[in-house]
Chains A and B, each alone.
Chain A
Amino acid sequence: MNKFWLIVKREYSTRVKKRSFILTTLLTPLAFALLFVVVGVIFSYESDDVNKIAVLDEAGVLAEGNIANEKNLIFTKETRSLDELRENFDNTVYDGILLIPEIKNLYANSYTVYYYSEKNPSLDIETQIKNKVSNRIREYKIASLNLEKKQLEALDSKVELDPEPIDKDAQDSSKIAGVMGAFLGFSMGIIMYMAVFIYGMMVLRSVMEEKTSRIVEVMISSVRPFQLMLGKIVGVGAVGLTQVAIWAVLIPLIATVVNLIFGFDSSSMDMGNAAATQVDPEEMEFLISQGFAELKHQNWWAILPLFIFYFLGGYLLYSSLFAAVGSAMSDDMGESQSLTIPITIPVIIAFYIMFVTVEAPNSSLAVWSSIFPLFSPIVMPARLAFQPATWQVALSMLLLIGTSLFFVWISARIYRIGILMYGKKVSFKELGKWLFYKE
């Protein structure tokens, strides 16, 4: 077997057989599931703090009926005066007094009601009271102005945008294509971002270990430094692919299982948004099924290979830089950490551009970032669901291939010197000089 493949095989098999690798690979999806459960429990938790509230209706908005009670909010119409209630507050059953002052101007848009209590009302209570009073005032205005309720309801129009292709034969995408594309792009962008860091750092640490344990000198008396470096990069890359592939299967699987067991309805995950609770379940179901349909409509035959391409390209580009930096590091990890900063900066910038990209996938920032090779491995996958122009993808791929190979070459030149250089703190100027050293 070729020496290069021997190295790849060792780098791969020693990592994959490690207990820590097996544990992380299997436990990470479980950790996600656990997080999912915990978040679900937290959001579906309802306050058990019951508040009894006296309502003083000076405006007369409650002439007919009362404010509807909730589990944790009980409203009672009160006829006693405010002063009397305040003086005897301790003797009453109430936790708070809600005063709705007289409404002088029916055409005003803004009203203030007063809430008297010993403690400031919680955010939850405040929001509920505001919504409830606002609804009552609305009813009151409709009645007072002699408006027709039906007509009023007709005024609220909800508009949806359904994207249609120009080409008649093309597949019609549904209303939520944009959202699903963003979701897909965002997921792929995050995976890329994490992969670059996790596996890039793995390469860096491994290069450093070989250098500090001095095994490297024995190794390169048998193989070329380039073979050793590339063998390591390829081996760790294969480990990365293995891990991501396992996660790609396990995470959705476990998520589905957890969902079946605990049966969270997805709306409860969104409690912060009051509107979400009002989406009726049927519509929600429709949306979800449409989402899945949308995912099926995506051209996976293009997206998946491209995603793997950017995964490998981005990994090759950054891990070779990490390898170069690892070779230059001295035994003191902390002191040498500053060398990794210039590598991490473009990754982090690309990560933020990715957020903007999923919102506006065809903005010039998104387009050019998805072509620029330092950003493209993270930004382009985020655009893939939005059918980027072929020339952009082609150009981006070409540039990524070229830049990756160039960086591998540069890194190899730094690496071959760095691994034999001991006890010296290295500056970037020094690294630059190494590029031009003869072998």
Chain B
Amino acid sequence: MHDILRLEGVVKSYDKKVAVDNVTFSVPKGSIFGLLGPNGAGKTSLIRIITTITRADSGKVFLDGAPLGHEHPSQIGYMPEERGLYKKMKVGDHLLYLARLKGLSKKDATEQITRWMDKFEISDWWGKKVEELSKGMQQKIQFIATVVHRPQLLILDEPFSGLDPINTNLIKEEIKELRRNGASIIFSTHRMEQVEEICEDIVLINQGRNVLEGDVHQIRTDFKENLFRIAYQGNLPDLPDSIQVVDQEEGRFVARMEKSGASDQLLLFLLQKGVHITEFQEILPSLNQIFIRQVGLTNAPITQSIAEA
């Protein structure tokens, strides 16, 4: 499977400030990819390069194997975090305008918009002015505008901010369906639980560099601290010295092993001692914890290179 998007050594600076510093990563075709990073890390600069809004000072960007060029905007759908619409325009006209700027014919655009509005059950909004809609309603319109031209690559910057749980779910399902139909999605957010839920791969950007990249599950495994949660019934015997109890309460405890294989020995030991085990689970670090740790590390004066971990 080849990559829908590949960045090689991309650099972008404004005046004297380096916003993107030699970033390299790939987005596999048909994946949901998380672009993560704290505020001011250079995510927006990167997104603007990918969406052809600006150009990299150096480095290469490939979309579906071809160097990124001015013909590509029609294959990309971008929903910025700070999004707006022309307030005085009618919803239908507005969507038609944005779709046609993406290169759709009038007929095709009308068909697609009608289809999406039916899908979201908002067909009767066609003649309404944008300013008459609530913020959440406008967000649905923006989502339609982003996907109406069937882009290969979707870039969604905080797509769920400001949406109620029902609409969040609606959009989430649509994103998944778009992926099933062949689109690749770059998803930029601070909400790590959403990333864990929907993204397969991520890249973590801090201070303009990518500090972490890869498969979400693999990353969590890589960062594991050999923590196990054990719930039991009966009395707990004294544990071997190699096992450190991090947290303990009635009927359960959390233990840290010296190495990953030690969990089997602990389980064996407990069983031999006749402890009735009701739960035995490895605790993987959450992306949130990894995020905070990595960002903290790279913000430290001496930058450690754990990126390849």
Let me know if B101 and A220 touch, CB within 8 A: no
A420 within 8 A of B: yes
The prevalent SS among residues of B at the interface is loop
Let me know if A6 and B48 touch, CB within 8 A: no
How distant is the Cα of A420 from the Cα of B254 in the complex, in angstroms?
50
Q: Which residue of B lies closest to A419 (CB)?
A: B53
B65 within 8 A of A: no
How distant is the Cα of A433 from the Cα of B52 in the complex, in angstroms?
22
A218 within 8 A of B: yes
List which A213-243 residues lie within 8 A (CB) of chain B: 213-224
B83 within 8 A of A: yes
Let me know if B101 and A223 touch, CB within 8 A: yes
By CB atoms of chain B within 10 A, which of A3, A14, A215, A220 has the most? A215
How distant is the Cα of A6 from the Cα of B102 in the complex, in angstroms?
11
Encode B1-38 as 1/0 by CB contact (under 8 A) with A.
00000000000001100000000000000000000000
Number of A-B contacts defined by CB within 8 Å: 67
Q: Which residues of A contact B101 (CB under 8 A)?
A: 3, 6-7, 219, 222-223
Other-chain residue from B73, B83, B87 in contact with A217 (beta carbon distance below 8 A): B83
Q: What are 27 pairs between A and B in contact, CB < 8 Å?
A: A3-B101, A6-B97, A6-B101, A14-B88, A210-B84, A213-B86, A214-B82, A214-B83, A214-B84, A215-B83, A215-B84, A215-B86, A217-B83, A217-B84, A218-B80, A218-B84, A218-B142, A221-B51, A221-B78, A222-B73, A222-B98, A222-B101, A222-B102, A420-B48, A420-B54, A437-B14, A438-B55
Q: Could you tell me the distance in whole angstroms from the C-beta of A202 to the nearest C-beta in chain B?
A: 14
A1 within 8 A of B: yes
Known: A3-B103, A213-B84. 11 other contacts (CB 8 A): A6-B100, A10-B97, A213-B85, A214-B80, A214-B82, A217-B80, A217-B84, A221-B80, A224-B70, A433-B15, A439-B54
A residues lining the B interface (CB < 8 Å): 1, 3, 6-7, 10, 14, 18, 210, 213-224, 420, 433, 437-439
Q: Could you tell me the distance in whole angstroms from the C-beta of B262 to the nearest C-beta in chain A?
A: 51
The 4 closest A-B pairs by CB, nearest first: A213-B84, A214-B84, A215-B84, A222-B101
How distant is the Cα of A213 from the Cα of B83 in the complex, in angstroms?
7
B57 within 8 A of A: yes
Q: Which residues of B contact A210 (CB under 8 A)?
A: 84
Q: Which residues of A contact B76 (CB under 8 A)?
A: 221
B145 within 8 A of A: yes
Let me know if B102 and A213 touch, CB within 8 A: no
Other-chain residue from B53, B70, B79, B88 in contact with A420 (beta carbon distance below 8 A): B53
How distant is the Cα of A329 from the Cα of B89 in the complex, in angstroms?
24
List which B167-225 residues lie within 8 A (CB) of chain A: none
Q: A438-B55, A438-B57, A439-B55 are in contact. Are A218 and B14 (CB under 8 A)?
A: no
Q: Which residue of A lies closest to B54 (CB)?
A: A439
Q: Could you tell me the distance in whole angstroms from the C-beta of B13 to the nearest C-beta in chain A?
A: 9
